[in-house]
Homo-oligomer: A and B are copies of this chain.
């Protein structure tokens, strides 16, 4: 490794000081006392190191220590706002724990993801955080992880059983659906992203649970969408709005999908929320500023990032043979202006109440492994 003039090695520093490389190493790694280096020598080394601006070669350290103090982060799309924010939280928390983050974008492709995982292994990351692509299942490349710690985010897998942290997507959709139902909506449809992906399917299931519990129709004709893009959502919303019974409310199961719904509504000269109510998933800055500002289900991204990292660090520090931990974090509804109250106005009889998600319904759920 070519050393720049500004960064000598321990060897050059030792030669300049007339001590051994071992002594320099012990001082710089904070182990002078343990190895009985004298205070005088220690100070000489520290002064020389400070003056030279030495940067210890982490490669050599890692090889000797068999530990890199780095983690791998493999996510489907770095520019997706959810993953971008998640990456930020993970990177910041990792750095505070002395870890570096090696990032890879799996491009929503299982083959790219498999390659990214192998690459992380070759770089001997101490652990891996993986947000798996939706389909197909990614268990095969995960087997090559062996005993190397890995934590999933935004996904649960049964085989191999890995620890995971996700948001309670199902509950989020239930809350959103009940929010509409409580405001008089009976025809509630879903604009979904990619069927088969964890978050998507959980949200569909939550919508179904709430609809069924209220005796409302929740058949497949009320779900539209084939992919996670504005265009796909536009077509899906168009189909829902133009064919069959028009819904009074729509759940857009992602913020990009909400944009498609907004576009479709505008194209069809349908006013939100007057003619159609909308609840979107995952908050973005713009969602609070649109006209109208959107009622959304918000994920706790900061907590997600923090918990997934801490779960991984715990695994790195102390591998455990027990069942994998799975944290399902609560989501919450943020009410803004995109849902119309369809209930008849009864003056001064029933107070209009604003109900957010009840905290007792949303405690972190720890799920036992199957």
A57 and B105 form a contact (CB under 8 A): no
A57 and B5 form a contact (CB under 8 A): no
A122 and B55 form a contact (CB under 8 A): yes
CB-contact partner of A55 in B62, B63, B144, under 8 A: B144
Kindly provide the distance from the CB of A286 to the nearest chain B CB, expressed in whole angstroms: 4
With A59-B124, A66-B1, A286-B286 as given contacts, are A100 and B88 in contact (CB-CB < 8 Å)? Answer: no
With A7-B144, A79-B85, A104-B95 as given contacts, are A55 and B286 in contact (CB-CB < 8 Å)? Answer: no
Does A2 lie at the interface of the complex (its beta carbon under 8 Å from any beta carbon of B)?
yes
Q: Which residues of B contact A2 (CB under 8 A)?
A: 66, 147
A122 and B56 form a contact (CB under 8 A): yes
Give complex CA distance A149, B261 in Å.
Answer: 46
CB-contact partner of A289 in B6, B77, B79, B263, under 8 A: B263
Give complex CA distance A285, B231 in Å.
Answer: 11
Nearest chain B residue, comparing its CB with the CB of A256: B285
Q: Which residues of B contact A80 (CB under 8 A)?
A: 84
With A6-B144, A85-B79, A263-B289 as given contacts, are A102 and B105 in contact (CB-CB < 8 Å)? Answer: no
B57 and A122 form a contact (CB under 8 A): yes
B67 and A78 form a contact (CB under 8 A): no
Does A16 lie at the interface of the complex (its beta carbon under 8 Å from any beta carbon of B)?
no
Kindly provide the distance from the CB of A118 to the nearest chain B CB, expressed in whole angstroms: 6
Task: Give the number of copies in the complex.
Answer: 2
Interface size class of A (residues with CB under 8 A): 35 or more
Kindly provide the distance from the CB of A343 to the nearest chain B CB, expressed in whole angstroms: 27
Does A259 lie at the interface of the complex (its beta carbon under 8 Å from any beta carbon of B)?
yes
Chain A, 25-67, CB within 8 A of any chain B CB: 53, 55-60, 62-63, 66-67
A103 and B105 form a contact (CB under 8 A): no
Give complex CA distance A284, B59 in Å.
Answer: 40
Does A266 lie at the interface of the complex (its beta carbon under 8 Å from any beta carbon of B)?
yes
Kindly provide the distance from the CB of A95 to the nearest chain B CB, expressed in whole angstroms: 7
Q: Which residues of B contact A17 (CB under 8 A)?
A: none
Kindly provide the distance from the CB of A259 to the nearest chain B CB, expressed in whole angstroms: 5
Kindly provide the distance from the CB of A276 to the nearest chain B CB, expressed in whole angstroms: 14
Q: Which residues of B contact A286 (CB under 8 A)?
A: 259, 284, 286-287, 290
Nearest chain B residue, comparing its CB with the CB of A285: B259
Give complex CA distance A20, B154 in Å.
Answer: 45
Give complex CA distance A343, B204 in Å.
Answer: 51
22 of the cross-chain contacts (CB-CB < 8 Å) are A1-B66, A1-B67, A2-B147, A7-B144, A55-B121, A56-B122, A57-B124, A59-B123, A60-B63, A78-B85, A78-B88, A79-B84, A79-B88, A84-B84, A91-B105, A95-B104, A95-B105, A102-B102, A102-B103, A259-B285, A284-B286, A286-B290
Q: Besides A5-B146, A63-B63, 4 other CB < 8 A contacts? A: A57-B122, A78-B87, A78-B88, A100-B123
The 9 closest A-B pairs by CB, nearest first: A4-B146, A1-B66, A84-B84, A78-B88, A286-B286, A6-B146, A79-B85, A79-B88, A58-B122
